Each structure stands twice: as structure tokens, then as C-alpha cells.
């Protein structure tokens, strides 16, 4: 096993974008262990010099750190480039190309991306989050009418994390409909969902995985038993099929993947 | 105002990383209107060719779209590069540099980043999310003991979005403590918080902004009145100061910014 490599995430703002790109790249090297150091809010020359000194100290101990940075101010970037490290300057090239493309200079202000600059988009994300939280514990038909998406599934199939992620990341208003025993007795859709057929997305899950998740919450309960999980999942899947609801399996999908699939379906539809 | 430019986000997986980088770059051109088209799950040559045909159609109408892509499979990327557009190939260069740096080839598999490959990190995010949801409606001392962070503030100061974001994005376990009238009557910290002083982060907000937020929820109520908001914020700030709790102002900060600030403080502390 090689020594862990030090990965420095250096940003003039939150560091979310820099870390996101770094991880997207480094995920392609699964055998290489990494150690992350984050230096957000490195917004002026003296802050960059402090990072450079840190890197110097690592280099003196024989390390060769990798720096991933989204800094765009020329003087701050220059101060950072004095560090004895491989530097991944993530935005400069792209900004140069875009300047030529648009024929105007990039503003190169700090924190353009993760601040509230695009207030409308930000408020719609917060509004969608309030919406998801309000709808999380059983709701009325009015709220289904206001939803962009209604996630349908048995308890602990992944509805809540997905709806929160859809809200917080994408500003999409999602509600949940938890399937219960009564719903399985009907031949059609659950009554509150009938008027909203086009908004429905079913979530299913491997019964063994559901059993493990429910056992963590209520060990030894009937609710968590494998038998009950198998029963509920089987009947939920039958309901989805009968009603022609698109279904996603959450067993080995991340919330990022489930949300992206739902969004792609929404945009195509 | 220039014509809106078409921005294509083309990914072999969720498209989150590609859109994140594209927005980080494009945010530096605030006067340029954009129109986003997302083409996630473009994972094989025929999917890439479909995108290329779309771009062709746009080009025939006189448009010059910009493509931002995180595709890493050579054949799929080649198919996309046939499109008559400026293509921002966001990962290829970095992967090349990292291959030389680590001395091993990049695996270039689809969806390394947003899948559940790093299962432990993923489960800790989901666990933190459950934790944040469980603690959102008043909790016991046991749960404060298990928290990484306790956010303290008056109702609607931003505790819930921040704790959900800390969980979902960073896997940090955050609980909330809503300050109420009783807390202001004491000279010390609220009793349930006394044992956890080092975990506390205060959130404050401009009373006029708080008034606007609360008015949306309960118009005309005493709770939403400017007077009540001013009173609560003043007393909360006094409590933070007296107790020496670090404070963040959420009035014009995004959840990304608030969370990044708290994380930076956690990691420094």
C-alpha cells in the first residue's frame, strides 16, 4: 500500500467546488490512499502565503502534496503557485476560453458560485426544502397538488433522503407517500394519489437491505422482520406495475443517482 | 442583452460534477444569459452520438453551444467531440497529470464519484441525515452527546437547512437547539447545552429578514412581528456573547457558506 498522499483543497470561498472536482478526479485512482486538508476562505495573498508555508513544511518532510484550487484572483493564485507542489488550477483555463467566447472579461470576484448571488435560485431551493420537511409527516391533497414529484414507497425505502436532496441540491419540490397495508388492499392507486399519476415515482429496495435498515431502527420488531419486508416490497412492486408507475431501485444507488434519474425523467416528460 | 447561450451538461453519470464546474465558471460572466440542457447518463457511444446530433441541429439554427463534460471513456468522448461546439473536457487533463503523478492508470469507469463506491462515507452521510431529522423536533441530552455540532438560534434563523446540509453534504452530525423565552431569563447557558459548550455554534439573523421569513409562515402573528423578532435576536446575541459562543450571521449567507464556516472552525478547533 503506498503512503497516503496529501490533497490540499484551497479555495477563496467554501471549497465545495474544488473538493468536488478533486474527488471526481481522484476517484479514478482507488488504490491510492489520500489525506485531505481543506483550506477554505483563502481569499487574500497573506492567506495564500500561509498555505504555501504549510506545503513547504510538508515538502521538507519529503512529501509531495497535490493542491486543487479554484482561486481566480491573479495575485492570490501567484502566491499559491510558489508552493512546492503539483497544482491543479481548476478554473483559470476555462475562464480564459469563456472570455474569448463571450468577448467580455470574467469578473473574478470571490465566491460567485456558492453565495446567494443568484437569489431566486437560492430561495427556490430553501422553499423546496421547507416544502419537503412540511410534507414529510403525512399531508393533505393540497400539498400533493403543489409538488413537482411524489415519491411512493414503503417505510425506509429512501423517500426522505431523496426528497431532501432534490430540494437542497435542485430546488425541486418533492413529497412522499408512504405505502401502508390499506394501500395494498385496493386495486387502484391510493386515493390521495389518483389525481397526480404523472408525478409519481416509485422507490423499491431489496427486502434484505430493508430488513437491515429497519432492524437498526427497531430491532426484533415485526416491522423489521425479513418476512414483513418481503411482503411489503412484493406488494409495493405489484402496485407500481399495475399502476404503470416508473420505479427506481434504491438498494445500491446513492441519493445523487436516484435524484438524477428522477430529474432526467421529469425533464424528458 | 445578448442572446441566451445554450450550455450542455453532458455526463456519463449524474451530471452533478459537470454542472457544478460549469456553474463555477459561468458565474464569472453575470451579464451573459444562459440556457441549460442536461444530458446525464450519456454512457455509451450511441448516447454521445444522440447529443452530437442535437448540437448539430442547434448549430444549423446558427447557435454556438458550449458543452461541459466529465466523460472519461475515450470512445464516448471522441463521439461527443464530433459536435460543432466549444467543448470543455473537464477531467481528461487532470487524469493525465494524476496518472503520471501516481504511476498507475486511471480506472476511467463510469460513475466513480457519485455512486456508493465509498460505502463508508456514504453511510455516514445517510446516518448523519437520520440524526439531523431525528433531532429536529426537540431532543434529549443523549443526542447532544452524540452530535458533532449543536446549532443554537431563535426559530427560523437557519438551523434546520444548515444541519441538513452538514449531514447530506459533509456527513457531519448536527443537532439544533431552538432558543425560547425561558432561555433568555437565565444568566448562563440553557441547561441542556451546558455540558456541550465546545460544540455550540450560534446563528443570528437581521431582525427585518427574520420578520419577513416568519411572516411568510404565520402572517400577522405576534411570532412574526418585527418587534418580537428584534427582541429575540437581541437577546440571543447577548446570550452568545455572554457565553462566548462563536456566531454566524445567516442574513445573506447561503447554507453552503454557513456550513463551510462551521466546518472550518471544527477542523481548526
Tell how far CA B41 is from the center of its chain.
22
pLDDT value of residue B19: 94
Shortest distance between the Cα of A123 and any Cα of chain B, in A, equals 10
% of chain B surpassing 70 pLDDT: 96
% of chain B surpassing 90 pLDDT: 82
Q: A199 in the Ramachandran plot: left (φ > 0), alpha (ψ -120 to 50) or beta?
A: alpha
pLDDT, mean over chain A: 92
pLDDT value of residue B245: 95
Of B66, B112, B116, the CB nearest to A101: B66
Sheet with A66-69: list strands edge to edge: A34-39, A5-10, A66-69, A86-89
Q: Does B248 touch chain A (CB under 8 A)?
A: no
Triad B10, A124, B153: Cα angle to 5°: 125
Cβ–Cβ of A161/B256 closer than 8 Å? no
The whole-angstrom separation of Cα A49 and Cα B141 is 43
pLDDT digits (tens, 9 = 90+) for B182-198: 999 888 899 999 999 99
Chain B hits for A114, CB-CB cut-off 8 Å, are 254, 256-257, 260
pLDDT digits (tens, 9 = 90+) for A153-192: 999 999 999 999 999 999 999 999 999 999 998 888 999 9
Q: Which residues of A34-67 are buried (b: 16+ CB within 10 A; e: fewer)?
A: eeebbbbbbbeeebbbebbebbeebeeeebebbb
| Residue B110 confidence (pLDDT) above 90 | no
The whole-angstrom separation of Cα A253 and Cα B187 is 49
pLDDT, mean over chain B: 92
The whole-angstrom separation of Cα B193 and Cα B139 is 12
pLDDT value of residue A187: 82
The whole-angstrom separation of Cα B266 and Cα B133 is 21
* Least-confidence region, from A20-29, A172-181, B117-126: B117-126
Q: Look up the ipTM and state it.
A: 0.90
pLDDT value of residue B138: 55
Q: Does A121 touch chain B (CB under 8 A)?
A: no
pTM of the model: 0.90
* Least-confidence region, from A81-90, A156-165, B130-139: B130-139
Q: Does A110 touch chain B (CB under 8 A)?
A: no
pLDDT value of residue A209: 95
Cβ–Cβ of A257/B13 closer than 8 Å? yes
Cβ–Cβ of A21/B16 closer than 8 Å? no
Name residues 7-26 of chain B within 8 A of A (Cβ): 13-17, 20-21, 23-26
Confidence band, pLDDT 50/70/90 cuts, at residue A97: very high
Chain B hits for A6, CB-CB cut-off 8 Å, are none
Cβ–Cβ of B97/A91 closer than 8 Å? no
Q: Does A90 touch chain B (CB under 8 A)?
A: yes
Handedness of CA A20, A213, B266, A164 (dihedral sign): positive
Please give the DSSP secondary-structure letter assigned to residue A199. Answer: G
Residues 6+ apart with CB under 8 A from B192: B141, B144, B177
* Least-confidence region, from B15-19, B47-51, B185-189: B185-189
Shortest distance between the Cα of A249 and any Cα of chain B, in A, equals 13
The whole-angstrom separation of Cα A156 and Cα B105 is 39
Of B28, B260, B261, the CB nearest to A16: B260
% of chain A surpassing 90 pLDDT: 82
Q: Does A41 touch chain B (CB under 8 A)?
A: yes
SS3 assignment, position A39: strand
Q: How many CB pairs under 8 A join A and B?
A: 184
pLDDT digits (tens, 9 = 90+) for B203-242: 999 999 999 999 988 999 999 999 999 999 999 999 999 9
* Least-confidence region, from A128-142, A178-192, B166-180: A128-142
* Least-confidence region, from A46-55, A62-71, A103-112: A103-112
Q: Which residues of B234-249 are buried (b: 16+ CB within 10 A; e: fewer)?
A: ebbeebbeebebebbb
Q: Does A100 touch chain B (CB under 8 A)?
A: no
Q: Does A137 touch chain B (CB under 8 A)?
A: no
Cβ–Cβ of A24/B17 closer than 8 Å? yes
Amino acid at each position: 500500500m503506498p503512503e497516503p498522499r496529501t490533497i490540499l483543497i484551497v479555495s477563496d470561498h467554501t471549497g465545495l467546488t474544488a473538493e468536488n472536482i478533486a474527488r471526481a478526479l481522484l476517484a479514478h485512482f482507488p488504490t491510492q490512499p489520500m489525506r485531505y486538508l481543506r483550506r477554505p476562505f483563502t481569499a487574500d495573498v497573506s492567506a495564500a502565503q500561509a498555505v504555501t508555508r504549510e506545503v513547504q513544511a510538508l515538502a521538507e518532510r519529503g512529501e509531495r502534496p497535490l493542491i486543487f484550487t479554484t482561486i481566480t484572483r491573479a495575485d492570490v493564485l501567484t502566491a499559491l503557485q510558489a508552493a512546492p507542489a503539483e497544482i491543479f488550477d481548476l478554473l483559470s483555463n476555462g475562464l480564459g476560453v469563456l472570455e474569448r467566447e463571450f468577448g467580455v472579461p470574467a469578473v473574478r470576484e470571490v465566491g460567485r458560485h456558492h453565495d446567494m448571488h443568484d437569489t431566486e435560485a437560492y430561495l427556490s431551493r430553501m422553499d423546496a426544502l421547507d416544502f419537503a420537511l412540511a410534507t414529510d409527516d403525512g399531508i393533505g391533497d393540497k400539498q400533493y397538488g403543489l409538488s413537482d414529484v411524489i415519491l411512493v414507497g414503503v417505510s425506509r425505502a429512501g423517500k426522505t433522503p431523496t426528497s431532501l436532496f432534490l430540494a437542497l441540491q435542485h430546488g425541486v419540490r418533492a413529497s412522499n407517500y408512504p405505502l401502508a397495508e390499506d394501500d395494498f388492499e385496493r386495486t387502484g392507486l391510493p386515493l390521495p394519489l389518483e389525481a397526480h399519476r404523472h408525478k409519481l415515482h416509485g422507490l423499491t429496495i431489496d427486502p434484505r437491505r430493508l430488513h437491515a435498515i429497519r432492524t437498526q431502527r427497531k430491532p426484533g420488531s415485526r416491522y423489521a422482520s425479513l418476512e414483513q419486508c418481503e411482503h411489503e416490497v412484493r406488494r409495493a412492486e405489484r402496485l407500481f406495475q399495475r399502476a404503470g408507475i416508473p420505479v427506481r431501485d434504491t438498494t445500491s444507488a446513492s441519493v445523487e443517482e436516484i435524484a438524477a434519474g428522477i430529474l432526467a425523467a421529469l425533464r424528458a416528460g
